[in-house]
Amino acid sequence: MHAPIFVPHIDYEEHPVNEMKKRASDFYEFLKKRRTVRDFSDRPVPREVIEKCLLAAGTAPNGANKQPWHFVVVSDPDVKKKIRVEAEKEEHEFYNRRAPEDWLDDLFPLGTDENKPFLEKAPYLIGIFAQSYNLNKNGKKEKHYYVKESVGIATGMLITALHHSGLATLTHTPSPMGFLNEIMGRPSHEKSFLLLVVGYPEDDVKVPDITKKSLEEIASFI
Ligand code: IYR
């Protein structure tokens, strides 16, 4: 093993305190405007935007820099249709049999149901896969670490990047979602993590009237 190589962190930017306060506040105001939408327009979105947002997601901190994620970007209408059919099968079971009453009560304010037309209408569906390990060229297993944490962070950064580009998203988690491996051609050691629906919101889209917890509720300073 040779010695690790370190280089100067020339990209780090410090801001004067007042500017730092303004940046933190501005970014909160900006992120607060992100809302999950369930009605998407079919207006096309340049692929280049999606590519840049995926590169942004790929900068996420992660276990031992193994970058244990894979993103499958679907725009093919036939593939979207297949995904919708399979997802709606699972959702039908969920809403009619699997979900306990209190879960359905919790979902009531969000107005969700088993119909998922956005899976065909939105220009992009991004399947996000968590790689429990990597198979290298010689078929040897390479360990991955903190996989869910890493993929969760990357997904958050992807959602933030898409919001910053002016696109809306929906984090969709049909359960179980193993069918995504089959449709998206991913190997079984990759676990489908979630399906991100991406596009412009439908004109005059409405969102549920919900609030976020206060700082006191979500944080303590000791
Ligand atoms: N996967 C279902 C149900 C659902 C579950 C939760 I928790 C949500 O926050 C939203 C929906 C669906 O997509 O309808």
- Find out whether the beta carbon of 107 lies less than 6 Å from any atom of ligand 1: yes
Of all protein residues, the one whose alpha carbon is nearest to atom 6 of ligand 1 is 107
Task: Report the relative pairing of strands 133-135 and 124-131 from DSSP bridges.
Answer: unpaired
Mutation test residue for ligand 1: of 112, 118, 125, 192, the one with most atoms within 8 Å of CB:
112
Supply the pLDDT for residue 194: 96
Supply the pLDDT for residue 103: 96
Supply the pLDDT for residue 210: 95
Distance 141 CA to ligand 1 centre (A): 34
Torsion of Cα atoms, 196 then 201 then 206 then 212, to 10°:
50
Which atom in ligand 1 lies closest to the alpha carbon of residue 174?
1
Q: What distance in Å separates the CA atoms of residue 2 and residue 171, rounded to the nearest whole number?
A: 43
Nearest to 128 by CA among 75, 60, 54, 59: 54
Task: Report the relative pairing of strands 133-135 and 141-143 from DSSP bridges.
Answer: antiparallel
Supply the pLDDT for residue 1: 77
Distance 39 CA to ligand 1 centre (A): 15
- The answer to whether the beta carbons of residues 119 and 177 sit under 8 Å apart is no
The one-letter amino acid code at 45 reads: V
Distance 114 CA to ligand 1 centre (A): 9
Distance 171 CA to ligand 1 centre (A): 9
Task: Report the relative pairing of strands 124-131 and 69-74 from DSSP bridges.
Answer: antiparallel
Q: What distance in Å separates the CA atoms of residue 87 and residue 195, rounded to the nearest whole number?
A: 10
What residues of the chain score a pLDDT lower than 70? Answer: none
Of all protein residues, the one whose alpha carbon is nearest to atom 8 of ligand 1 is 107
Supply the pLDDT for residue 142: 95
Give burial (CB, 10 Å; 0-12/13-18/19+) of 11: exposed
φ and ψ of 88, to 5 deg? -65, -30
Total-model pTM: 0.97
Which atom in ligand 1 lies closest to the alpha carbon of residue 113?
14
